[in-house]
Amino acid sequence: MREAQISSQQFALLLCLFNSFAQVLILPQPMAKAAGTDAWLAGLAGIALGTVPISIPLGLLARRHPTMGFGEVAEFALGKWPGRLALLLVAAISLFLTSLVIRNIVDFSAIALLPGTPSLVIGLLFALSTCYAAYAGSEVITRLAVLVIMLTLVGMSVVIVGTLAEVDLTRIQPWFVHGISPIMRGAWPTTGWFAEFLVLGPFIFQINRPAKATKSMLWGNFLAGLLLTILVALSILVFGVQLTEKFTYPVYALSRQISLGQFLERLEIIVITIWLSGMLVKAASTLWAATCCLTWSLGLPQWKWLPLLLGAVAFWLSLLWHSELEQAWFSTHYWTPYMLPFFFGLPLLMLLGSYWRMRHRKGVSA
Amino acid sequence: MSRRLWALTLVGALLLSGCWSRREINDLGAVIAMGIDRTEGGKLSVDLAVAQPGAAGAGKGQAGGQGSQRQSRVILHREASSFMEAVRRAELASPRRIALDHIQILLLGERFAAAGVDALLDPLLRSPQMRLSTRLVMVQGVTPQELMETNPLMRSTQAEALRELESTRAGLMISLKEFFIARSSPHISPILSTIRLRPHMTGEGGGPSYEVELSGAAVFKGDRATLFLDQDEVRTAIWLLTDAREAVVSAPCPDEPERKIAVRITRAERRIRPIWDGRQLSFQVQLEAHARVLEMQCHIVIETPDQLDVVEDSVRKELTTKVIRLVHRLQAAEADPFGFGERVRAKLPAVWQQAGNERWFKTWAKTPVHVESIIGLVHLNMSTEPPSMKVDPSKD
């Protein structure tokens, strides 16, 4: 049964945040390296490739089962044990994603924000905040997402206006010189990152008007792609491709370039604060999804301490990476090929299962 | 009750907040300028000009309120085989923690620029403390250490004096970002302003003061400074590189070449267009500007549009000649600091595949550049003719 209710607009904004905040920090550098001046187009290509094949089947499922939750639909469409196994996998992936987000925060803060603070402390505080937000539930998380997106709009405007004087249009030209292949090379690592929104399945089945779920997903993902595209394009326009691909965090470097009238500078801390809030929402949404999927999968009762337990596991997982490079390498080279079949396959299988079950049920009742 | 307790605990937690490993401002040594050079033995020589906040506030050489003489900056000098090692050695002797976040200007020594600047670029790009808006200049005639130790004119530190020079738009001021962009591109030659010291004997505060003068520019091939432009060439280079607003152009009078007209540019635009006619690559440079007359030694009365055209034509010809001369000099040196190649890469990708990439500097050396300038004298300022002009009463 559906419990909390969220609106399709709220979900679109949560999705926009989910599919853009970690991406804008990590992906511009590999995208610029792979696609050169076409890197900004790679963002849009990646989002189209990574999200449409998931949005459509999930949207159809939400429409076909307007009263069911994600776990119930999985069990209905795939059968009891395969459904529970699929939910367990989604829970594991969600938990792993939570740990990646925590690790991203720790690595970034150690370099750019709080170099003197032990990583363990940053990670622990962030993990605790994540647990609390996940404990508060999906409605609170989506409301928080709406607030962060509003702040993001302000932050984006400041970044765009503050760096406009440094823009040089020749730096982003020419386009399509080497055809579509560099764009696809740039889009490839992003595809798996965008497709991971599958773990927001429990949220999708809480949308109060299920008929709008597909549209909401497409809009949310489009906005996320647009955000990434604008920031990648701006990085290239300000720094050029060669310098963009040398930065670890090109968008952070961009935020440090903000200068309004040569008197309002060093505003990057505002951008970082908004980004950290967004990462908190992302981590909370994956942790909450992991909690839901694990509860359904193992048939556990509603237990209020479960987010804390899973948060502790995610925190421990985040410590396992030997280095920042190792994690970034895994995320950009292995995440997409290993996870994409699952991300694309599960919603499709669920949809086919749902059709088959419904037809079978009709046949029986006839 | 439980909720109230929670709320109280959370509010109480706010009072406990603070920064991990916090450092008070008094414990920090904010570096405002940094000089880098090579020693004769090939080691890196690093000079850190650390601000003395109390002294800077009180004026040059004065300590606030104590009545004692106190330098407004302290120069820490260290030599080492790498940049960070030298900084670390400076930290070991500093009673304040060295903070590189506030560096306003980086001074490169002549020997360092000639031997290659790459040894510095990597730690600067890597460091989260460095800001890409920091200005970079090359010091001529003296070492960065010698320059930083001098008393500036009208300012408390030479770094401050240089930043103020930038605001006048009189010269070329290149930021770390611009230098990094050029250095990371295989077809843009990095360029830097050069500065030199000139003694100024007014001697503020007892000792001699020194003017820091923007003396020209150094153009790099790879990471080495190989070509030097003089002040006049830099004033022309600004037209092709940045914003020529506020520039002053001097041109000979139409019929009296020994006399001069000086105009100040109030609005400037440049268009550099690569043209490929199927066989030959060329560039069309178009410079358009509005200007106001600052000085006129010519015996001309500007009363009609035709008379204005004559003066405009003279300024236009002068600017065109200077730009062509500068471009030829750069082509002879196979250096392209203005991004002509970048425009071919962006606009003519097919041509770039044949003539660009690693071959660009060779191609550039023999590419024709056509320059056209349009100058509009939109203001004559407060008079239409020099006071020495005699009015012919018979005209009335």
A6 pairs with which residues across the strands?
A207
Query: Measured between CB atoms, does B130 come within 8 Å of chain A?
Result: no
Give the C-alpha separation, B281 to B274, whole Å. 7
The residue type found at B139 is V
Please judge whether A170 and B347 are an interchain contact, meaning their C-beta atoms are less than 8 angstroms apart: yes
**Residues of chain A whose C-beta is under 8 A from some C-beta in B?**
111-112, 114-118, 121, 166, 170-171, 173-174, 177, 239-240, 242-243, 246, 253, 256-257, 259, 265
Q: What pLDDT is recorded for position B59?
A: 44
Containing H/E element for B15?
A: helix B2-15
| Chain A, nearest residue to B125 by Cα | A247
Q: What pLDDT is recorded for position B151?
A: 76
Tell me the per-residue pLDDT of B62-103, one tens digit each, with 9 for 90 and over: 433 344 445 667 889 999 999 999 999 998 888 888 889 889
Interface test with B, best of A132, A172, A173, A325 (most B CBs within 10 A): A173
Please judge whether B181 and A242 are an interchain contact, meaning their C-beta atoms are less than 8 angstroms apart: yes
Give the C-alpha separation, A321 to A107, whole Å. 11
Q: What pLDDT is recorded for position B162?
A: 77
Q: What pLDDT is recorded for position B27?
A: 82
Residues of chain A with pLDDT below 70 are 1-4, 362-366
B chain contacts of residue A117, beta-carbon cutoff 8 Å: 19-21
φ and ψ at residue B237, rounded to 5 degrees: -60, -35
A chain contacts of residue B345, beta-carbon cutoff 8 Å: 170, 173-174
E-state strands within A210-361: 259-260, 264-265
Interface test with A, best of B10, B24, B131 (most A CBs within 10 A): B131
Q: CA of B350 to nearest chain A CA: how many angstroms apart?
A: 8
| Chain B, nearest residue to A239 by Cα | B181
Containing H/E element for A255?
A: helix A250-255
Please judge whether A112 and B128 are an interchain contact, meaning their C-beta atoms are less than 8 angstroms apart: yes
Residue B207 makes CB contacts below 8 A (sequence gap 6+) with B151
Residue A19 makes CB contacts below 8 A (sequence gap 6+) with A47, A51, A193, A194, A197, A220, A221, A224, A225
Please judge whether B347 and A259 are an interchain contact, meaning their C-beta atoms are less than 8 angstroms apart: no
**Cβ proximity of A173 and A41 under 8 Å:** no
Count Cβ neighbours within 10 Å for each residue of A323-349 and write b for 16 or more, e otherwise.
Answer: ebeebbeebbeebbeebbebbbebbeb
Please judge whether A173 and B20 are an interchain contact, meaning their C-beta atoms are less than 8 angstroms apart: no
Q: For residue B169, with 0-12 CB atoms within 10 Å meaning exposed, 13-18 middle and 19 or more buried, which class applies?
A: middle
Least CB-CB distance to A174: which of B125, B339, B346?
Answer: B346
Containing H/E element for A23?
A: helix A21-26
| Chain B, nearest residue to A163 by Cα | B133
Tell me the per-residue pLDDT of A82-122, one tens digit each, with 9 for 90 and over: 999 999 999 999 999 999 999 999 999 988 888 888 888 89
Give the C-alpha separation, A351 to A361, whole Å. 15
A chain contacts of residue B185, beta-carbon cutoff 8 Å: 240, 242
φ and ψ at residue B36, rounded to 5 degrees: -130, 130
Interface test with A, best of B167, B336, B345, B354 (most A CBs within 10 A): B345
B chain contacts of residue A135, beta-carbon cutoff 8 Å: none
A chain contacts of residue B125, beta-carbon cutoff 8 Å: 246
Query: Measured between CB atoms, does B133 come within 8 Å of chain A?
Result: yes
pLDDT mean for each 10 residues of chain B (396 residues): 80 71 79 92 92 56 42 84 92 87 92 93 91 92 89 75 71 90 94 88 64 90 94 92 85 87 91 94 95 86 83 92 96 96 94 89 95 88 72 56
Sign of CA dihedral A136, A142, A147, A152: positive
Please judge whether A166 and B128 are an interchain contact, meaning their C-beta atoms are less than 8 angstroms apart: no
**Cβ proximity of A313 and A307 under 8 Å:** no
SS3 A240: helix
Q: What pLDDT is recorded for position B26?
A: 79
Q: CA of A150 to nearest chain B CA: how many angstroms apart?
A: 26
Query: Measured between CB atoms, does B144 come within 8 Å of chain A?
Result: no
Q: CA of B338 to nearest chain A CA: how many angstroms apart?
A: 13
